[in-house]
Amino acid sequence: MKARKKLPKFRSEDQERKFWGQADSTDYVDWAQAKRVVLPELKPSQRTISLRLPAMMLAELKWLAHKRDVPYQSLMKVFVAERLAKELRGPRPARD
């Protein structure tokens, strides 16, 4: 069994983030003993963006959202998420 190092005390999240960016977690944590945890209240971080769309495209998006009784921004997120999943599953293009 590997001896574990003691975790340092961190003065800030930035200091901790920098530490874990450089440290090997297996020196500090026995991952064989780790258990999966569900955090149902944890919300993914979000970032606001500005997106310019043709007026007709936005009108059609709002119409579809109204038909589904959802906010158009939420419908847009669903569409983007579905396309991302499809693109990430599909064949990868060759890189130069």
Task: Note the residue count of the chain.
Answer: 96
**Residue range 20-28: mean pLDDT, rounded:** 92
Which residues lie below 8 Å from residue 28, measured CB to CB, with a gap of 6+? 4, 5, 6, 7
Total H helices, total E strands in the chain = 3, 0
* pLDDT (mean) for 13-30: 92
- What's the CA gap between 61 and 80, in Å, rounded? 13
pLDDT at residue number 92: 66
For 56, the domain range is: 51-90
In a domain, 12, yes or no: no
Confidence of residue 12 (pLDDT cuts 50, 70, 90): very high
Q: Please tell me the distance from the alpha carbon of residue 43 to that of residue 63, in angstroms, as a whole number.
A: 28
Domain-embedded: residue 37: no
pLDDT digit string, tens, across residues 78-96: 999 999 999 998 776 666 5
Mean pLDDT of all residues in 37-52: 89
Res 43: pLDDT:
86
Q: Is residue 32 part of a domain?
A: no
